[in-house]
Amino acid sequence: MKFPFRTIALIGKRQSDAIAEPLLRLAAFLSEQRIAVVVDQETAALLGAHPYQAMALEEMGGVVDLGIVLGGDGTMLNIACTLAKSGVPLVGVNQGRLGFLTDISVETMQQTIADMLAGQFVTEQRMMLSARIVRGETEICSGLALNEVVMHRDSVSSMIEFEVRINGEYLYTQRADGLIVATPTGSTAYALSSGGPILHPGLELIELVPVSPHTLSNRPIVVDSASVIDIKMLGRHASGVRVRFDSHAHFDLEIGDRLEVMRYAARLYLLHPQGHSYYHMLREKLLWNKTL
């Protein structure tokens, strides 16, 4: 990570006209600090006339020192894996309620960003997942995920059946509506709503959470992040079974396809304001600070 930050990329929520005003306001503020501003190409299309360089996300590695994402956690998920590949750290600004990943409000962003430009920030490293789908002996699809890789039924009316192996060792065969393979970051997303445990984002672990399993004995399990998870599609139903990488990509499975999931070599660097507390954020988001 390069510090001080000389070139900063601004990425806004896609297809949201409401992002233009706060993004341009932040861009002007950064320019006043003599920082070069680059705007994501798709975001730039929403801004109208502006003096800032537009650039595709894939071109930003090696050019920008920091990315500031304006939107919400979904926006962060959509761009995190692309920039993480090149080690660009990210800051999240939320337009609405503060999120798990976007924890700076639009109202306070200029002062907070000013403090961070002065070095007043904390850095988190978040592990990610790499997944590939193998049909026969051929890899036909691959993807990255910050939150989770999910195999789930889309249109089939009955449960799907699959076999799971960890590092080549048989774990179980089960029937369920799906299976979530999640990072600690993703433990507060879909995995949480399916009964999985909350994992601190600093841990190096992977959790497997079945979605509506056929039997109550099929419970979530947490494994070491060095594990290679192999999921094989079984049963009679193929059409309508899908693999999803976070919320930004998906692929349809066939009987016999194998989904292989492991830790991705690179990590995502998230920057937070000084004083950031994960436990405080949990209390706020999960309403643990409310009494009945």
Give the active site residues. 73
Helices and strands per DSSP (H, E), number in the chain: 6, 18
Q: How far is the C-alpha of 76 from the C-alpha of 94, rounded, in Å?
A: 10
Whether the ω angle into residue 4 lies within 30 degrees of 0, i.e. cis, is yes
Tell me whether residue 216 is exposed, middle or buried, using C-beta atoms within 10 angstroms of its C-beta: 0 to 12, 13 to 18, 19 or more. Answer: exposed
Q: Cα–Cα distances in Å, from 271 out to 120, 121, 285?
A: 10, 6, 19
Eight-state DSSP code of residue 214:
S
- The total of other beta-carbon atoms located within 10 Å of residue 261's CB is 25
> By three-state DSSP, how is residue 228 classified?
coil
The runs of H, that is alpha helices, within the chain are 20-32, 41-44, 73-84, 109-117, 190-193, 278-285
222, 184 contact by CB (below 8 A): no
